[in-house]
Structure 1
Amino acid sequence: MMQSLLIAIKNKYPKAKIDVIANKLCLPLAEFMPQINQVIELNTQHGKFDFNKRKILGKSLKGKYDLAIILPITWKSALVPFFANIPERIGFLGEMRFGLINNKIKLNKQKTPLMVDRYLLMLSQKITKDLYPKFNINTQIIQKSVALCPGASYGPAKKWPVEYFYELAEKLTNKGYLCFIFGSQAEKKDADKIKNNNPKITNYVGKLTLKESIKKMSEMEIIISNDSGLMHIASALNKKVIAIFGSSTPKHTPPLNDKAIILQTDEKCRPCFAKTCRFDHYNCLKNISVSDILKVI
């Protein structure tokens, strides 16, 4: 979704050079975003404050930039631009970042439910189709290929049941489709259950880098995914994405793609945005059936 903001910046300021500060996990994404001039790695551990590392990096960037746009709302995320002494530092006030942010953007979450629109508030814009993220990769499409993305690092309340993915894969391969499973090492156990020695299923989980996964996903005809990072990558690849929403909602983080098909239930308790189901029934996911998926393929 950040790419929508990058496109908007380039549209408004064609000569602007855009550098992005990102952690190691996100670095491969930059290769598919031509709007980015360079990526500066923030060598910190997830969840760690690492004040000194942020200070050192910030001071090394002094005098190099006119403007910083800070998308996260955390206090620590504003430290590098502050220590870099960048004249204009735009962002939401967030965690009481007085002084760190000197151009504060007001956020009304009810009026701006879409995350991508919150990013675009930095330029006082809203999402339009010309700002949809897009990864341009020249590739050969594998006929009757379906990518399965069973993971969601957020938590189980975003994960369609693995037994449903298994049943879906069996029915698809019986219909002549080839299935390919994508995800991180964390999904290996689930991926092995889905694969179940089926020769028409290729299991890439834990075997590819993020960059390699993106290139392989670009060869797919259809991508079936939980609401996850891979769903947004599939959308940026302009694929037919079948997106499964559990505790979250497409009113907040939809796949930005005209080909996308969204599946969700009308459970009264959703969207709750919880990582786990407080009722322990997960009906928002279980009530999306395999046949619901097959109907829209």
Structure 2
Amino acid sequence: MRNILVIAPSWVGDAVMAEPLYRRLAERWPGAAIDLYAPAWTLPLAARMDCVRQGVVNPFGHGALRLAQRWREGRALAASGYDQAIVLPNSLKSALIPWFAGIPQRTGFVGEFRRGVLNDARRLDKTALPTMVERFCALAEDAGAPPKRPIAHPRLNVSAQAREAALQACGLSAGQPVMALCPGAEYGPAKRWPAAHFARLAQDALARGWQTWVFGSGKDQAIADEIVRLAGAPTGLVNLCGRTGLDQAIDLMSLARLAVCNDSGLMHIAAALRVPLVALYGSSSPGFTPPLSDQAEILSLKLDCSPCFKRECPLGHTHCLTQLTPDQVWPAVGRLLPDSLP
């Protein structure tokens, strides 16, 4: 049996987009044990990926070298007998663990002085592999071979028991259709649709008979509170930001009839759960990290100044999002759910 360790991404969205890689590895190597070395906050994703055996906690934060601890971590992993490591982040730090572990085949793209540390180093052709999911999946193949196409969309699976447990823990009911709102974006404010727009959309959804759940981490608490305040704190608008871990957020999101999201990790989670999705793009581009779903509508004004890929609007107005109104969202909802709007 082949044992594979994947050094997984730290960003939630990237971690979701890596799932097709794991399925391709399982297809190439039937019976392979695929483990993910990943930050603790992303391990609930691994638990909902069918081809992953287990997650192994990566204790290193962004920017932390801690060379001696990395050596100890690598030596501890050596006992697991991995045949191959696939390193998805492009940093030198991420490649050190499998090197210290003595894993025979260490695969990844060339970058940041990694030659020698990786002994199966690939050159990245950005033209041939324009999207992140293609780049990940290319690493499942032999050097020089393209990724097997078509590439399947990421998939997360949630059990009925997990859904029911999450509902009970949060005091919720799925008796009415649920619209999920995801107002956060870890990258920065230039990717966040205004709170006033989310509030107006929530009011419209409630008037149409939806209940509306706002998803996010504790970092999104302020914008979620603002949405609730601007909407008038109506019954049926539930702020879950900071109330759930990622595990419960995934399980509850799977119950949504529709999700409206910024370009964020939760957007990719909604797509992987096969929830119909309206994705809002401002400073970023759907060309590189689109929602990977057959049930997604992408809304972007495509202004001359976007995508700028900045954390904050360099022009100070964020027109790419402020001028994208809630009235423009409902036609997209109608295209996704032409016969199911309550």
TM-score by length of 1: 0.96
Query: What is aligned with 1:272?
Result: 308
Aligned to 1:173: 206
Q: 1:276 to 1:127 in 2, by over 3 A?
A: farther
Q: CA deviation at 1:126?
A: 5.0
CA shift, 1:87, in A, is: 0.9
Residue of structure 2 equivalent to 1:232 = 268
| 8 Å Cα contact 1:225/1:231 also seen in 2 | yes
Aligned residues: 296
Find the aligned partners of 1:226 and 1:295 in 2 and give their Cα distance: 17
User: Structure 2 matches for 1:1-297, cutoff 5 A?
Assistant: 1-62=17-78, 64-122=81-139, 123=141, 124-126=146-148, 128=150, 131-139=152-160, 142-196=175-229, 197-297=233-333
* Structure 1, 134-143 or 185-194: larger mean CA deviation: 134-143
1:29 positional shift: 1.1
Q: Which one-letter code corresponds to 1:165 in the other structure? A: F
> SS of the counterpart of 1:32?
coil
Equivalent position amino acid for 1:295 in 2: P
Report SS of the residue matched to 1:202.
Answer: strand
Displacement of 1:96 after TM fit?
Answer: 1.7
Give the aligned residue type for 1:258: D
Q: C-alpha distance in 2, partners of 1:96/1:161? A: 41
Q: Please tell me the residue identity of whatever aligns with 2:153.
A: Y
Structure 1 residues 224, 151: CA separation in 2 closer, same or farther (over 3 Å shift)?
Answer: same
Distance 1:138 1:84 in 2: 35
8 Å Cα contact 1:68/1:86 also seen in 2 = yes
In the superposition, relative to structure 1, how do residues 271 and 113 fare at CA in structure 2: closer, same or farther (>3 Å)?
Answer: farther
TM-superposed CA distance for 1:143, in Å, is 3.6
C-alpha contact (below 8 Å) 2:84/2:105 kept by paired residues: yes
Structure 2 stretches lacking a partner, 5+ long: 1-16, 164-173, 334-342
Could you report, residue by residue, the CA deviation over 1:221-259 in whole angstroms, capped at 9, with x for unpaired residues? 001100100001001100101111111111100111100
Cα distance in 1 for residues equivalent to 2:149 and 2:18: 11
Question: After superposition, what is the alpha-carbon deviation per residue over 1:91-126, rounded to whole angstroms, capped at 9, x for unaligned?
Answer: 011112111111111112233221101111212315
The amino acid of 1:148's aligned partner reads L
Secondary structure in 2 matching 1:104:
strand
**5+ residue gaps, structure 1:** none
Tell whether the 8 Å contact from 1:181 to 1:205 is kept in structure 2 after alignment. Answer: yes
SS across alignment from 1:270: coil
Q: Please state whether the residue corresponding to 2:95 is helix, strand or coil.
A: helix
Paired residue type of 1:240:
P
RMSD: 1.5
Structure 1 residue 142 displacement after superposition: 4.7
Moved more, 2-11 or 194-203: 194-203
Q: Is the 8 A contact 2:48 2:156 kept in 1?
A: yes
Letter of the 2:42 partner, please give it: C
Residue identity matched to 1:221: R
Tell me how far apart the structure 1 counterparts of residues 62 and 40 of structure 2 sit (CA, whole Å): 10
DSSP-derived class of the 1:180 partner: strand
Contact 1:90 1:101 in 2 (8 A): yes
Mapped contact 1:18–1:37 kept (Cα < 8 A): yes
Deviation at 1:76, TM superposition (A): 0.2
Other-structure match for 2:337 = none
Q: Partner amino acid for 1:23?
A: P
| Change in 2 beyond 3 A, CA 1:3/1:87 | same
Amino acid at match of 1:117: E
Between the aligned partners of 2:55 and 2:208, the Cα distance in structure 1 is 44
**Aligned-residue offset at 1:86:** 0.8
Structure 2 Cα separation of the partners of residues 145 and 16 of structure 1: 38
Question: Which range is displaced more, 140-149 or 177-186?
Answer: 140-149
